[in-house]
Amino acid sequence: MNPLFNKIKTLEGLSTGQSFFKGNGREFQISSPVDGKSLGSVTACTKIEYDAIVNKALEAKLTWQNTTAPARGEIVRQYGQKLREHKNDLGELVSYEMGKSLQEGLGEVQEMIDICDFATGLSRQLYGLQMHSERPKHRMLEQWHPLGIVGIISAFNFPVAVWAWNTAIAWVCGNVCIWKPSEKTPFTAIACQYLFSEVLAENNLPEGISNLIMGDKEVGQMLAEDKRINLVSATGSVRMGKSVATTVAGRLGKSLLELGGNNAIIVTENADLQQAIPAIVFGAVGTCGQRCTSTRRLIIHKNIFEELKEQLVKAYSQLKIGNPLDTTNHVGPLIDKSAVDAYFNTIEEAQKQGGKVLCGNRQLKGENYTTDCYIEPTIIEASADMPILKTETFAPILYLIPYKTLDEAIRIQNNVPQGLSSAIFSLNLRETEQFLSVNGSDCGIANVNIGTSGAEIGGAFGGEKETGGGRESGSDAWKAYMRRQTCTINYGKELPLAQGIKFEI
């Protein structure tokens, strides 16, 4: 394994004092879906260990929130430089531990670098507003302060990038962070924490600015229940998100949720199919269909349905499936055997509901497939009324659905509980503008002539309905990590009251 992994494998117990990589709780054995080989084990933190980490964070908070925002930005800039230096090693580890292609693993680390750059600039742009007062010689303004401690629960499919979206912004806003990564991909998290601990040590800053806790949903529940955690940002399934949201709301805390996606692309008869096909295929099979923005449903105008269907089946036949560290392969494995079971169960249910499998539906065996996690991406011809279409399965299953009018296509797209990403392929201005209008896509992301996946960090990322309503990364998503304070300053000698109220004593 690469030098970065070899370094973190030598760490025992506490890393530089701030984070339990090996607690005294349940042990998790981690093996790669690529070849089945063991990466090692981690153990969950206990309640006592969890409280020790929170206390570390509380101590560090006082120093960090009183550090100027540009100075905090400089620390994040230095972390981005560390990531640049270790991009290849970390990208390879992401690919090997999670199973996505090496190109996607490197791209995920590049997302981390990009958000560090964005956050560094943001550290000088945490703007408030000034408003005119109705009272003479009064001034009104708003300012933003750190929340305190931000808890981050991340998922296996983007084991490092989504954490960075949250933590880079949270850091420059003056918060300290506690990260619970997926128990399926802990070693990439340890590597990220290790690199940031180097930055903290080099700048004589408290270790508790960034903290790592290991464990499953029980440890996540500790974060959700803890009144000392000012914001819980959770990425994962709808079921997990509902549990977190209910628990955090019960203590009147703040939560930021990025949950399931069930994303659709509408292809009109005015589409450029040569442009659409690569976007559809990557959206459906990238990360082996394990992105929250993966394309699940393809809604195709009836006049081009057969033509596009034929071209997609041909494109799928050319996919190379195998070891994701081999850059000639397009598709790697699913994360584990349970994901494979969900893949086959979903296809079986779709067939019961009238779906027709056009390609795929096969587990790959042989010397090139050293685990049971390699499957063929599948295309299913479907009808819009199939109940299975409303369910997200984290696997490369693409449903093809015909439509007659754009109004019908938009209704089909929106008729699911999730509302993350959406796209339309059309060269017709009226069609694309209708798709983007208030009567069009109901998703948090709406793209024209690009696919559903591959968001850039400059825009706010998130979705509506059961996707949770949260926004991360760019634009003004930073406001979720701060508290707003409205201030009124009276610089006159009189004390006039608002709304003309008279009160004399």
Helix (H) / strand (E) element for 198: namely: helix 186-202
Mean pLDDT in the chain? Answer: 95
Decide: helix, strand or coil at residue 32: coil
If one counts every other C-beta atom within 10 angstroms of the C-beta of residue 307, the result is 11
What count of Cα atoms within 13 Å lies in the side-chain half-sphere of residue 399?
Answer: 31
92, 207, 258, 392: which is the annotated catalytic residue? 258
Of 227, 118, 158, the residue nearest 474 (C-alpha): 118
The domains of the chain, with CATH numbers, are 3-8+16-259+468-486 (3.40.605.10), 263-448 (3.40.309.10)
* Residue 319 confidence (pLDDT) above 70: yes
Decide: helix, strand or coil at residue 97: helix
Decide: helix, strand or coil at residue 238: helix
Decide: helix, strand or coil at residue 92: helix
Identify the pLDDT of residue 18: 38
Give the DSSP letter of residue 22.
B
Identify the pLDDT of residue 85: 98
The pairing of strands 14-15 and 19-20 is antiparallel
- The mean per-residue pLDDT over the stretch 351-375 comes to 96
For 204-234, write each residue's pLDDT tens digit. Answer: 999 999 999 999 999 999 999 999 999 999 9
- The mean per-residue pLDDT over the stretch 310-319 comes to 98
472 catalytic per annotation? no
For residues 177 and 170, is the Cβ–Cβ distance under 8 A? yes
For 102-158, write each residue's pLDDT tens digit. Answer: 999 999 999 999 999 999 999 999 999 999 999 999 999 999 999 999 999 999 999
φ/ψ (deg, to 5) at 289: 70, 20
Rounded Cα–Cα distance for residues 248 and 58 (Å): 19
Identify the pLDDT of residue 9: 78
For 431-447, write each residue's pLDDT tens digit. Answer: 999 999 999 999 999 99
Identify the pLDDT of residue 310: 98
Of 264, 37, 232, the residue nearest 148 (C-alpha): 232
- For 125, counting Cβ atoms within 10 Å of its Cβ (0-12 exposed, 13-18 middle, 19+ buried), the class is exposed
* Residue 405 confidence (pLDDT) above 90: yes
3-state helix, strand, coil in the chain (%, to 5): 40, 20, 40
Q: Which residue has the tokens 């070849």?
A: 35
For 97-113, write each residue's pLDDT tens digit. Answer: 999 999 999 999 999 99
**pLDDT range class, residue 356, cuts 50, 70, 90:** very high
Annotate 275-331 with DSSP letters as a single string.
HHHHHHHHHHHGGGG-STT-EEEEEEETTTHHHHHHHHHHHHHT--BS-TTSTT-SB
Identify the pLDDT of residue 16: 33
Q: Which two tokens stand for residue 411?
A: 């209704």
Q: Which residue has the tokens 């408030």?
A: 128
Helix (H) / strand (E) element for 225: namely: helix 217-225
Identify the pLDDT of residue 21: 52
**Which phi-psi region, left, alpha or beta, contains residue 359 (left: φ > 0; alpha: ψ -120 to 50)?**
beta
Rounded Cα–Cα distance for residues 454 and 114 (Å): 14
For 76-96, write each residue's pLDDT tens digit. Answer: 999 999 999 999 999 999 999
What count of Cα atoms within 13 Å lies in the side-chain half-sphere of residue 112?
Answer: 34
Q: Where are the beta strands (DSSP E) in 236-271?
A: 254-258, 263-267
Q: Which two tokens stand for residue 149?
A: 């401690």
- 3-state SS, one letter per residue, for 352-421: HCCCEEEECCCECCCCCCCCCCCECCEEEECCCCCHHHHCCCCCCEEEEEEECCHHHHHHHHHCCCEECE
* Residue 10 confidence (pLDDT) above 80: no
For 268-305, write each residue's pLDDT tens digit. Answer: 999 999 999 999 999 999 999 999 999 999 999 999 99
Which ranges of 38-134 would DSSP assign to H, the alpha helix? 47-65, 69-85, 87-98, 102-122
Identify the pLDDT of residue 284: 98
405-408 contact pairs (CB < 8 A, 24+): 406/266, 406/268, 406/431, 406/434, 406/435
Beta bridge partners of 486: 142
Identify the pLDDT of residue 19: 42
- The mean per-residue pLDDT over the stretch 255-263 comes to 97
Which amino acid is located at 489 in the chain?
Answer: I
